[in-house]
Amino acid sequence: LLDRQAGRESNSRSYPRKLPMAIRRGKGSYVEDLDGNVFLDFLSGAGVLSLGHNHPEPLAAAHRQLDEFVHGLDFPTPVKDEFTELTIGMLPEPMRERTRIHFCGPTGANAVDAALKLCKTATGREEIITFQGGFHGATLAALSVTGLVEQKEPVRGRMPGVHFFPYSNCHNCPLGLKRDDCQVNCAAFLEKALTDVNGGITLPAAVIMELVQGEGGVIPAEVEFVQRIREVTRRLGIPLIVDEVQSGCGRTGTWFAFEQYGIEPDVVCASKALSGMGLPASVILYDEKLDVWKPGAHSGTFRGNQPAFAAGVATMKVVKRERVLENVRARADQLMVHLQGLRELTPYVADVRGLGLMTGVELTDPETGLPAEALAKRVQWEAVSRGLIIELGGRDDCVVRMLPPLNCSAREIDQAGRIIRESLTAALA
Ligand code: PMP
């Protein structure tokens, strides 16, 4: 099956080539391959399966909705209404009244495209500010604001007027500073470019950022960095878009990561885990003052996926009732202890970081400081061969990343911690 598919599928598909396994089924935090081997899935469909595979409640809700009807186009429906109410209700109280929702289609990139377009329409401006190392999706607009060079290097003709600024990536400071010398110079640099007549930038339509760069190597932004950007964008009347496609829907221990940064964005992009079980949906949540689109201004065929809304409603109810966000925080602390413990194995463990259950271990050569991507690849391979699925990311794929289900158990975290330790030991041998 694997060979047959690999022969047919586009060469650009990476998973079947990186991890040669074919999946038959999934349940909870585990998947089973065609040979009956069971794997602990700490990738969760790239952060999609917040309640693991086939959680009974979203699954039953989606089944019921499938029997009712599937595609609601753009019409109001009871399940879409309930989904909207609950989604808005997940926002901090002061934002709820003035927040509008737009259903964008199935993917995260659809939400990013919509957010950029909305801000361009609302401000009448063209330029966009974004950050080095960020990832926003594979459509041409989302790709244009993506700062991970290898994702887009061969593509010509990207959206013009995009400016990349340094992110608060303190472990690999883009300005070459040590923490003690730093006055959040990265944010100061952006502020200076925006306010100085010699900054070379006209007032942009938006600033777009991740609060934790996921694909970029699990890099949580510094709080002062984000707050300073919020302050300057507000002062200059620039909409701030936070891309919470990966960090949102509980992943970081609050429903949205921005809650932990003490800011209120103008636009929030959400997708991946919105339905909690892998049915596609994406939205932007935005301030009413940006509600300038005329009817039909931004359409899309797949905006009315009723089973996804039904699953999303059920997921949000489970998250509240079962205090899943508390579990995220507790399991994240537990996982961090395991990952910090890897430092004693080898000086190749250069950094251990994360926010909630978005976690990563950066592996670099202690002599040269260069990415140890071959070691990271071996760790991933050793982990898979021991029954744990994890992902790589960051510069040259030297960061071992984990996105466990938000409702994973303490036992599963310990199992993953043990396997990662064994895998790193084996990879070093
Ligand atoms: N934004 C962020 C922060 C992401 O992590 C991703 C996906 N990894 C996207 C956007 C794009 O989402 P999709 O692949 O669903 O288009």
- pLDDT tens digits, one per residue of 364-397: 999 999 999 999 999 999 999 999 999 999 988 9
DSSP β-bridge partners for residue 360: 353, 401
Quick check: CB of 113 below 6 Å from ligand 1? no
Question: Is the domain covering 57-321 a CATH 3.30.499.10 domain?
Answer: no
Q: Is the pLDDT of residue 128 over 70?
A: yes
pLDDT attached to residue 28: 98
- Please check whether the two domains, 2-55+325-428 and 57-321, share a CATH topology: no
Question: Is the domain covering 2-55+325-428 a CATH 3.90.110.10 domain?
Answer: no
pLDDT attached to residue 411: 98
Give the residue, out of 135, 140, 274, with the most ligand 1 atoms within 8 A of its beta carbon, to mutate for a pocket test.
135
Give the pTM: 0.97
pLDDT attached to residue 181: 84
Give the residue, out of 136, 140, 258, 355, with the most ligand 1 atoms within 8 A of its beta carbon, to mutate for a pocket test.
136
Quick check: CB of 136 below 6 Å from ligand 1? yes
Measured in degrees and rounded to the nearest 5, phi and psi for residue 163 equal -120, 130
Query: Residue with the nearest Cα to atom 10 of ligand 1?
Result: 136
pLDDT digits (tens, 9 = 90+) for 316-375: 999 999 999 999 999 999 999 999 999 999 999 999 999 999 999 999 999 999 999 999
Percent of the chain with pLDDT over 70: 99
Query: Residue with the nearest Cα to atom 13 of ligand 1?
Result: 108
pLDDT digits (tens, 9 = 90+) for 246-301: 999 999 999 999 999 999 999 999 999 999 999 999 999 999 999 999 999 999 99
Quick check: CB of 135 below 6 Å from ligand 1? yes
The confidence band for 188, taking pLDDT boundaries of 50, 70 and 90, is very high
Mean pLDDT of 95-110: 97
Name the residue ranges covered by the structural domains of the chain: 2-55+325-428, 57-321
The confidence band for 16, taking pLDDT boundaries of 50, 70 and 90, is low
ipTM for this model: 0.99
pLDDT digits (tens, 9 = 90+) for 22-35: 899 999 999 999 99
Q: Is the pLDDT of residue 153 over 90?
A: no
Is-contact 195 189, C-beta < 8 A?
A: no
